[in-house]
Chain A
């Protein structure tokens, strides 16, 4: 009997756990914004590989990646960042509650990415040196926002 009860209890905990994961708060918003973030990364990776010399510089491909990066940086994401969709509400995200707190400059940091991506769009198709020069600005924009508003990876 005792074992039976224990099994039931364990099963209940398991089922509850699964249910919570499925119905996790803001699961959809988090998934979509991570997708947009991934698409930015994908295009940065194309530019980064050329900057590193892993692949030959190709003006056309570089321009396309830079155009995509700017597009993905400029999307209106206000529907995807409802207040409270932070790492406390749902561990699938590393977004910190600070994003929505008073004094948050998350908007300015998002704009800094748009600015850096705009500079990259102007530079990427010129030549490799111009692309390399603009990549640091993109990296700085990513780092600044992540360091301020993203929980550290553990």
Chain B
């Protein structure tokens, strides 16, 4: 009897250890950033390309307020409502004490400094493709931004999605840092792919999601419903987006559609962010979009 009990205990322990092994957060190696020098000026470009302000500034923030990353915006989803945290430079309420490695673990691995999984509403499924150099530069730029003491609000997520360890399984299934658009790309298209698939995380809105909320790589940028809204994030593949490259560049630069209506909804803030990039970057995005596989 004792032997059976012992066997069962060992089995349970092995199972728990196995589960932990599968579900555990996997940060980068401690020396992952060795030799990388930070450049805050380049980091500002990463900041605008990455759209940090579009989620982490206050709702409807304009002008200088877009640089106060106090959090608080709410994101409804089928799994609950997520609330953007404070990532300002405040050492307690924000991420003022974070190292570049901490930011890299958050953005590329979805792992917090305490070793917990983040929900993929934080677009690490896209940022996973970012270069470590960009993260190091971004860290340096974020350190130049204002501190704000507003505390982060908890996410409003119910069982079973409130068990963060389960996200380890989600990551095993869906975290894939490979490029979606493959094949021979020229220099501009390659840069565009980086901006769209990695930093710009365009797919997070414009790609339809499966049952567990992962982006469907087979219907990449094919459009998706707006959570909590009536309309859809438009299809950006050549099957539907028939704008010329010049039209796309003009839209991303001035916010004017080819009919000279103005950009609407969440995209207005995206255009505002992209307006800080070099003209060649907006042209690169347009060039890339023409290479996406058409999907209805």
Interface set of A (CB-CB < 8 Å, partner B): 41, 44-45, 48, 51-54, 135-136, 138-140, 142-144, 146-147, 152-154
Contact = CB atoms under 8 A, between A and B. Distances in A.
Interface stretch (B18-26, B213-221, B261-269): B261-269
A91 B249 CA distance: 33
A152 B265 contact: yes
A138 B253 CA distance: 11
A41 B256 CA distance: 10
B127 to A, nearest CB: 27
Given A48-B250, A54-B246, A152-B231, A139 B265 contact: no
B interface, size bucket: 20 to 34
Contacts of B264: 146-147, 152-153
B112 interface: no
Nearest to B253: A136
Interface string B242-257: 0000110110011110
Give the interface centre of A44, A143, A144, A154 by most chain B CB atoms within 10 Å: A143
A26 B40 CA distance: 54
Nearest to B246: A52
A124 B151 CA distance: 47
B150 interface: no
B260 interface: yes
Interface string B42-81: 0000000000000000000010000000000000000000
A153 B271 CA distance: 18
Nearest to A153: B264
Nearest to A141: B262
9 contacts: A48-B256, A48-B260, A52-B249, A135-B253, A135-B256, A136-B275, A139-B263, A142-B262, A143-B268
Residue among B231, B254, B263 having the largest count of chain A Cβ atoms under 10 Å: B254
A139 B246 contact: no
A45 B268 contact: no
Contacts of A44: 256, 260
Contacts of A45: 260
B172 interface: no
* Residue from A45, A135, A138, A139 having most chain B Cβ neighbours under 10 A: A139
Given A139-B256, A143-B271, 5 more contacts: A45-B260, A52-B249, A52-B250, A135-B254, A136-B255
